[in-house]
Amino acid sequence: MNAITQQSQATPGQLKQINRFGSDAIDKVLEEVGLDNPGAQRVIEHGNEFSAGIREAAIQLIKNLSVTDQFASEEVESSYTYPKEYRGPKPIGAQVDILAKEFGLSLGYVSEFIEKTLPTMKLPQGAEGWFAIPSVDAVAKRFFPEVTDPAEKYCRAIDLVLEKLGKSRNFYNYREGETGNRYLKQSARTLHALDLIAEGQNGDILIVPVQYGMRHRGRSVRRARECFTANEFGLGAFALGCMALVHPERYVRWEQLHTDCAGDEYAPYAVGGFSGSPLFYFGGGGLEFVTDRVSDADDYYGSVSAFVPQG
């Protein structure tokens, strides 16, 4: 298209919100650093340098976060789709029953939610259906109640679901022993989105609108993240592992669309930055779990994402 689209200016409300994010971040940093009186005074004496550093970092970050065409070259054409055996998500009640049995979770609140609230909710644009995903806190309370750190809870939950996959089908974990919180973490966007969903659902199992990879097929993980809509977020290895437990027919052959876990960040060898992310694929006669760089675009893969329902 040769037409030039005139973009509207950011509203005062938007700018005020961004400014508040920055102010809140500085407040949190000061709280975490725990400056003593002499240290605080030295920062004040270098106020110009402090302001310049904050400004440079903020400019770069705002540019990176607001450019929708970032990593646009990390896309390839893809014609791969779901295997014919997979016909979409199972009825939500059946999903919940499977997960409740696997993890020993309560059906109390989630049954009420499915019966009374879910019928009033509209499936967000881009989602393929409703999927059941256990609460990490509920799983932790059941299997490792001694763990209190949220990051460790999440990694332990991943280990648990991978173990269950190994008992349910032919499965190989290429990251055995390398899924602790030194290696793997949830993205901030995903954590925030799941918190929002949990605010409206108090049960052991959350009901979430999801697309299973088709929407972002052929895109690198970081390109898919750039293409997320305002209410969209990536799902991680725990969610995808649970979805695979419930829908084993989703992974049955190599010639199909496999799945990137765009909600997780992975640090290869537990050093350097979190430059990778996990993925599930069918190969060698079974389901396999491994990690790859977030910059790699492959026609065999698509990032799985979910959406915060609007009501």
Return the domain boundaries, the chain.
12-66, 92-307
Burial level of 199, CB count in 10 A (0-12/13-18/19+)?
exposed
Q: Which residues pair with 172 in a beta bridge?
A: 288
Predicted confidence at residue 7, as pLDDT, reads 35
Predicted confidence at residue 66, as pLDDT, reads 62
**Mean pLDDT, contiguous 10-residue spans, the chain (311 residues):** 36 82 83 80 86 83 69 96 98 98 95 95 96 98 97 98 97 94 95 94 96 98 95 97 98 97 91 89 96 97 95 57
Predicted confidence at residue 119, as pLDDT, reads 96
Q: Which residues in 135-266 belong to E strands, given as ranges?
A: 171-173, 184-186, 205-211, 232-234, 258-260, 264-266
**CA-based radius of gyration for the chain:** 21
Pairwise CA distance, residues 232 & 68, whole Å: 14
Name every residue whose Cβ is closer than 8 Å to that of residue 283 and which is 6 or more positions away in sequence: 254
Pairwise CA distance, residues 220 & 22, whole Å: 29
Pairwise CA distance, residues 255 & 84, whole Å: 11
